[in-house]
Each structure stands twice: as structure tokens, then as C-alpha cells.
Amino acid sequence: MIDPHDPSASGPHPARYPGAAAGEPTLDSWQEPPHNRWAFANLGELVPTATIARRRREPGATVRLGALEARMPGLVRRLEETFTDAFLVLCGDEVVAEYYRDGFAPDDRHLLMSVSKSLCGLVVGSLVADGLIDLDRPVTRYVPELVGSVYDGPSVRQVLDMLVAIDYDENYVDPASEVQTHDRSAGWRSRRDGDPVDTYAFLTTLRGSGRLGEFQYSSANTDVLAWIIERATGQRYAEALSERLWSRLGADRDATITVDATGFGFANGGVSATARDLARVGRAVLDGGVAPGGRIVPREWTDAVLAGGDREAMTYEGFTGSFPNGSYTRQWWCTGNERGNVSAIGIHGQNLWLDPSTDSVVVKLSTWPEPDTAHWHGLQTGILLDVCEAIDER
């Protein structure tokens, strides 16, 4: 393990396996020794791959809503109208309701979009507990390549809570926006002339006032956290996510994460997982950071998430319009409502929703036709809150 406070400990583009040159192997070298020893077992990180399913898919939707359906007449219609692919309600350790659309099976993985951010926040919490990350140190103490960028000055904590003013337009449908340039650098869209060569390079280009203390949602922040995680552990982000979180959940399936040309995981939105395994993440948060495979984060970390962040810092009307006491902390959205609901949220309708008052987790994975609108959020939030009220009646 490297010294996380030694800027010379690793380069900006970690190698994919021990002894490899940074950024290797590439599409031109993966079939050659020594790179083939790694590439033949990890080809999906270099070449698009398709799954050959171990089971034949059964036609039709999977609907097991039990008593919830009786308490919420029209629930299936509401799920269909909000383009739901997977829906699961976990009360304590009991799955009390599941729905999977036609063509989507319970063990299929689904893209989590920005729910991925909350997973990254838990990895940060694990490393803080082990003394490998200090939230009050400046970002550039871990990643000196960011000197001169907007991240030259803010602390890890301020990036974690998205309290940095950045010239970053999170407009998912504008080709000129920074978020689309970010996508192109990460391999999510076709590259354009002049685009940064990878995610690391993209992050170094970001500028802004650097003003601190007011919430600004920026997907770049999460990838900066992932870069810090790589420096603190000496591992690639995907490996740290496995060791620190996924391997401890008792998950049914491996999760996946998209990677850029260097193998850097797209921490802000690239994770795919089953609804059941994602519910296990929520279960661990409600259980004070403990999972079947051991502790993920200290109870103090999950208590802070459930308590919510700085309400005065939350100025995003898209959230406060629904939740006037809302806040954001440690990569989680906190409603501040009477129920104490906390959520991991992703565009196109991804939600990992926690209801501490009933010790329940709700997962809803969707494919809204638009990324992020008040209309779709209103419908989604209505379903989630109604589910919580229905659970109260159990």
C-alpha cells in the first residue's frame, strides 16, 4: 500500500496490473506478453462484450407485490407509467415486494447512473476510518496534478459534500456542456477533436471561482474522490470499490463499472448492479455500516448521512422545492422530512431510498425518456413516499 500523503507515490494513470506501464495494456498491445496475462481475464475493460445468459429468459413481467398492492391500488400502473425496470421493497431483512418489467429479470444488472456516487461516498468513509484519507486535507495533497485547477484549495470534505463553485454545466442534453465533455473523456460518447484523452486529463481542465460553502451538484467531484481513493489505496478505483464495499455486502452478483481508456472507473455514474444487491447497500446504511461480510463504515458515518447535511448550504431549488429542509452530505441526498428519508439518486429514474422510520429500503430502477425533470421526479417521489406510508400499515 502506498503512502497516501506522498504525491510521488503513483502517476496520474495507474497501470491495470502490477508491473505494467501506466495506461497499459491498450487496444494495440493487449494480445502481446506480458499484457495478455491480464487482458485475457479482463477483456471487458478493453473491448465491448455481450452476456451469454446462464438461464433462458421467461416471457412476461415478474410481479410479486404481496400486500403492498392491496394497500396501493394502481401500483403496477404507476410503475409502468414511470418506465420502471426493477422495483424492490426490503423491510428489515424481508423482501416484501418486487416488480421487474417484461424482458428484465431479477438477476439482471441495471445502470445506476448517479446512485454510483453514494457508493463512492461509502468507500471514502471506509478509508477515513482507516486513517488513509483525512477529510480536512486539501485535495491537491493527494492529487498534485490538480494544482492550478478549481480543486486547488478545496478540502476533500468540501468536494465530498459538493460545496465548490465550478464552471461545470450538468446539462445532460447540451453537447457543449462540461458533463458531455466529461462523458466523452470517459468513453460514454463519441470523442471530438480537442477532448481530453481520459477522465484524469479532463479533471485537470476544470476551472471556476472555487467559492466554497454553497451546494453545486457536479459529477466531476465524485471522480476526483475516486482519484483520491486510488492514491490512498494504491488500487484502481474498481478494486477499492470491490474490497471496501461490494465484497462485504453478501451480494448475489458481481457489479460492473464502465472504465475509460486508462481503466479508470466512472465513479460518478458507471456502476451497474441488480436491484437486490443495491438494496443490500441501503440495508448496510440502515444497519449502522455493517454488512454480512463485515463493517463497511463506522456508525458515525451512517449516522451523519441519516442526520443530513448543512441545510443552509442547499440552494438547489430542484430539490428544496420538494423538500424544503433538504440537504446533501457524503454523496447522499437527505430530504429532511418527518420520515427522515435519505436517497441515492440517478438520472432517468434511479433511486435507492431509505426509510429509517420503518427500517425499510426501496429500490426503483427506471428508464425515463428524459434525464431529469420536475415532472418525472414528482411522479417518482410520489410513489416512494406512498410506499413508505403503505409499509406503515403493515
Give the residue numbers marked as catalytic.
114
CA distance 173 to 191: 16
CA distance 69 to 87: 13
CA distance 247 to 63: 29
CA distance 196 to 108: 33
How many Å from the N-terminal Cα to the C-terminal Cα in the chain?
Answer: 49
| Residue 376 · residue 328 · CB < 8 Å | no
CA distance 48 to 188: 12
Q: What is the DSSP letter of 58?
A: P
Q: In angstroms, what CA-CA distances link 318 with 41, 291, 374?
A: 44, 33, 7
Amino acid at 343: S
CA distance 323 to 84: 23
